[in-house]
Amino acid sequence: MKKCWLNNKTVIITGGASGIGGGIARLLISKYNCRVIAVVIDDSGLKETLSALGERADNFTCLHYDVSNYESWVEIKKYLEDNAVQADILINNAGIFPPFERFENTSKEKLERCIDVDFYSVAYSIQVMYPHISKSQTPAFITVSSSAALAPLAGTSLYTAAKSASKALTECFSCEHPEIYVGCVCPGFTKTNLFSQQKDDMSKNKLISAFMSERDKMVKKIVRGIRRKRRRMVFGADAKIMGILYKFFPKSSPKFFRWIMKVSKQKVFEDIFTGQQ
C-alpha cells in the first residue's frame, strides 16, 4: 500500500451504507485500509456493502442514528470517546431529494425534512464533532453537496436551497480553519437510490440518464479528490455544464434548463408545469 495520508484512518460517513456513501466506504476500506463508521437511519444497502467488503467487513461499523438530530451527534461523539476511538475524517454524505414540484405545492413535512437532512445534519455534525476530530493528526471534514448548489433548477427549490446552504457553510468553515482540510463536493446526477421519491425511475429516463454518472466512477473521483485534499470538487458532465453556464449566463441559463425540462415532456417533471402554458 503506497504511502498516503488516507491510510489507516478512521472515517465517519453519514449515509455510509448505500449509494455514494456506501461506495466511498468500500473504497476507503479496500484501498486505504480505513476503519469506517457509517451513520444511517435504516439498513438500506447494508447487506450489499458488507457482502462486497468480504473479509474486510470488520473494518466497517454501522451506527443507527438520525443525523438531522443534534442529540444524535452528541451521542455519536460520546460513543467514540467511551470506546477510545479517535475519528480522523467526517464525510457528510446523507441526503434526500424530494420529488420535482413547484415550491408552493411542497408540504410543510417535506420542507422540514429536506432542510433537516440536507443542511442541519451538516451543521450539527461539524459543530459537535469539531472538538473531537480536531485532535486527530490529520483532521478533515468533507461535505457531499450537489450540482444543485451550482445553479437554480425548476422543481428543486427545497433541495437546491438546502444543498446551497450546506455548501456555503462548508466553504465558510474552510475559511475559518485553513489549518485543516475541509472539502466540498458537488456531484452531478448519479445512479443511486437518492431519487427513490420521484414518481418515475430517473435512471431509466433517457434525458436524465444521458447525463447520469455511474456510482462507482463518481466514487473514485470523489475519493481521488479527497486524497489530493481538493477543497472544491465538481464532478459529472451535468454539474460542470450547469456551473459554467450559470457562472457566465446567470439570467438566461436557468430559463434554458427549464425549457429543456418542459419540452422533454418527461413524467418526472410534469408537476412543475401542470396548469402552465
pLDDT along the chain (277 residues), means of 10: 89 94 96 97 90 93 97 98 98 93 93 96 98 98 96 94 98 97 94 58 60 88 97 94 96 93 83 72
pLDDT at 11: 98
Question: Residue 207: what pLDDT?
Answer: 60
Half-sphere exposure of 227 (CA within 13 A, CB side): 17
Helix (H, G, I), strand (E, B) or coil at 250: coil
Residue corresponding to grid cell 428543486: 156
Distance, CA of 262 to CA of 207 (rounded, Å) = 12
Spell out the alpha helix ranges (H) of 11-117.
19-32, 46-53, 70-82, 108-115
pLDDT of residue 205: 60
Beta bridge mates, 86: none
The pLDDT value recorded for residue 203 is: 55
Alpha-carbon distance of 30 to 7, in angstroms, equals 10
pLDDT score recorded for residue 266: 80
**What span, in angstroms and rounded, lies between the C-alpha atoms of 200 and 267?**
7
Q: Please state the separation of Cα 192 from the chain's center in Å.
A: 11
Match domain 10-273 to its CATH number in 3.40.50.300, 3.40.50.720, 3.90.550.50, 1.10.10.10.
3.40.50.720
Using an 8 Å Cβ cutoff, are 269 and 216 in contact? no
pLDDT of residue 242: 93
Cell output for 203: 435512471
